[in-house]
Structure 1
């Protein structure tokens, strides 16, 4: 079981209220559907959300089939979020 929390090292989703010079959500959830992982914390609104400094981590991962998923936690050191099939995909996702 992982004892470290994965950081969000990069987010290129400009339309997310938590992304201003990096992800400022305290923690994100990686969700999505089969064969696809997306940032479930993504919110496209004009409101600015999050903390004043960049501290984002992956709080939970719902993609059980991902090679990095360890007891619903991300076992990768860092993840990248960006445009893919959806506006905010987990670009670090790898299917087993």
Structure 2
């Protein structure tokens, strides 16, 4: 799978993340992690902006209990990241 085929982070409402530029994720690829809730493991709180010029993708998903997870890869067409139980959660997470 190439980054061209990875699901895009379609929106991110986490204003305090260094990869968030005007509600678009600009991390090259995020990792979804967490126990209990699905968190954005790439969340980095800070004022300095970083990342790439294009929208971020989902590089890996450690949540094997999500219906969009196939061999630790996300198969959703896109994911939304925003506040949930943590400041940055994968809001597209759906229990298998």
Q: Is the shorter-chain TM-score for this pair beyond 0.5, marking a shared fold? A: yes
Shift of 1:54: 2.8
- Structure-2 residue corresponding to 1:30: 32
The separation in 2 between residues aligned to 1:59 and 1:38, in whole angstroms, is 14
Q: Name which structure has the greater RCO, CA cutoff 8 Å, separation 6+.
A: 1
TM-score by length of 2: 0.90
- Structure-2 residue corresponding to 1:93: 93
Structure 1 unaligned runs (5+)?
A: none
Q: Secondary structure at the match of 1:36?
A: coil
What pairs up with 1:1-96 in 2 under 5 angstroms? Answer: 4-21=5-22, 22-33=24-35, 35-51=36-52, 53-96=53-96
Q: Which runs of 4+ in 1 moved over 2 A?
A: none
Structure 2 unaligned runs (5+)?
A: none
Paired residues, what number? 91
The separation in 2 between residues aligned to 1:76 and 1:11, in whole angstroms, is 16
The separation in 2 between residues aligned to 1:91 and 1:55, in whole angstroms, is 17
